[in-house]
Amino acid sequence: MRRASALVVAIGALAMASACSSGDTASPPSTTATTAAPDGTAPPTTDVPLDAGEQIYVYLPEPGDCWERRRTDENAAGGAGQPIILALSCDLPHDHETFGVVDVPDDSFPGDGRLQELGKEECPQHFEGFVGTVYELSELEIGVWAPSQVDWNQTYTHSLACYVYLPDGEKLTGSVRGTGR
C-alpha cells in the first residue's frame, strides 16, 4: 500500500508541475540546495556539468537511458536557460533511468492528466523485467515522463518514459538493470 500511495503522490506531483508550466518542452530542472562553507567558498555540488552529457531538447525515451532534467546555462540576456534532458553515461551520478517505454496510440493530445494515468497503469508492468525484482519490494520509486502538448503536436513524440529514481533524492550511479534493487 505504501508503494501505491507513493506512486500516486509522485505522479500527482508531476501532473501538477506540468499543469503549472509555461508550455516549455521539458520540466524545470532538478535543483541541489547548497550552503556556503565557513571559509566562504561554495561546497561542491553533486550535479555533473552540462558538457558531461548530451543536451536533448526533444526526448525520445529508450530503456537504459540515464538522465536528468536540467536547463542550459543562462542565455545571452542573462535569463534562465532552456529546459533540456541531459543524457548521461549511467556511470556518472544521475537522477533518473528509463526502464520502460509506453507508446500512446492517440493522434490528438490526450491531456497531461490522462498521460499520467496511463503511466501509472502501464509502467509497473515494465519494472520487474528491467530491474529484476517486483516494484513492491524495491527501494526504487517509479516516475513518468510525458511529452508536453507542444512536443506531441510538433515533433510527434507519443511515448511515455517510465523511469526509476531514489526516493531520498540521492543520485543513482550505475545502471539499475538487473540489479534487483
- Provide the grid cell at 46: 553533486
> Of 106, 104, 91, which Cα lies nearest the Cα of 173?
91
pLDDT in tens, 123-176: 999 999 999 999 999 999 999 999 989 889 887 789 999 999 999 999 999 999
Name the β-bridge partners of 141.
165
pTM exceeding the 0.75 threshold for the entire prediction:
no
| 8 A C-beta contact, residue 87 and residue 54 | yes
pLDDT in tens, 53-79: 887 777 788 999 999 988 887 655 666
